[in-house]
Structure 1
Amino acid sequence: MQELYQCGVCGKIVQIIIAGKGTLVCCNQEMTLVQEKRGEEEGKEKHVPVLDKTATGVKVKVGSVPHPMAEDHYIVQIEVIGDNFQQVSQLKPEDAPEKEFCVPFEQVKKVRIFCNKHGFWTNL
């Protein structure tokens, strides 16, 4: 899967599509590999993606308990990944913490969300 790196100074996040040699640097320092949370951590009930099959694809809800969507704490994006696709939907604080994607439910290999306070979470 595609790796994510974050700058410890400015917070910028970079996604690696194709890995190569070398080191990612931002703000004159090496970027850090972002570790995805998988549900063993505190807060899993509000962050681990929940998938439902729909007539046209898959609906992703963030958490078994709805995640807050306030200016200072919200889900920034929901991402569905399969062998031959990757779809990302950006959210704003006034949106519901869920999105529907028109991709075959059976082909979804991973779902990843990004919370502006608690980082990346996945359903795996």
Structure 2
Amino acid sequence: MPEKFEFYKGKDCNGIVMPINPYEGDLSCCGSEMELLEEKTADFKNEKHVPIIEKVDGGIKVTVGSTLHPMAEEHHIEWIAIADGDCFMLKYLKPGDEPSAIFPVENPEVKAFEHCNVHGLWTNKK
């Protein structure tokens, strides 16, 4: 498993990439260098963005925020993902969806990621 997952976002677009192999060099999109997204782990109220990880029947459930994150067109969660050992899983969301996902893994020791279209990348570990 990579020691750290990295996500890069295009400066001139909403394109996000995650290198799947160790990568050194510059990434570019739409003619501009991509920016490494900072992993945020706590918001000022610690309630709307931090992924909440819980064991459920059938796997691990990740919910965005202890108070559910809005899922409006102008402000929503674009995707939720987890890293479990050497496995990485991602679920895309769209406005109107519930900001949660269930992943079919048994190991409760995962790292969760989510990307808000307004506030960027957020993570949590269990």
The TM-score with structure 1 as length reference comes to 0.89
Deviation at 1:63, TM superposition (A): 0.5
Contact 2:84 2:107 in 1 (8 A): no
Aligned equivalents of 1:20, 1:66: Cα separation in 2 = 35
The TM-score with structure 2 as length reference comes to 0.88
What is aligned with 2:124?
A: 123
Unaligned runs of 5+ in 2: none
Deviation at 1:107, TM superposition (A): 4.2
What is aligned with 2:49?
A: 47
Of the structure 1 ranges 93-102 and 24-33, higher mean CA displacement relative to structure 2 is found in 24-33
What is aligned with 1:85?
A: 87
What is aligned with 1:10?
A: 13
1:112 counterpart letter in structure 2: F
> How much identity, in percent, do the aligned residues show?
42
Aligned equivalents of 2:56, 2:20: Cα separation in 1 = 29
Counterpart of 2:30 (choices 18, 27, 34) is 27
Q: Which segments of structure 1 move beyond 3 Å, counting only runs of 4 or more?
A: none
Unaligned runs of 5+ in 1: none
Deviation at 1:16, TM superposition (A): 1.1
* Aligned residue pairs, count: 122
Give the match's secondary structure for 1:50: strand
Give the match's secondary structure for 2:48: helix
**In proportion to residue count, which structure has more helix?**
1
2:22 counterpart letter in structure 1: A
Deviation at 1:42, TM superposition (A): 2.6
RMSD value, Cα: 1.5
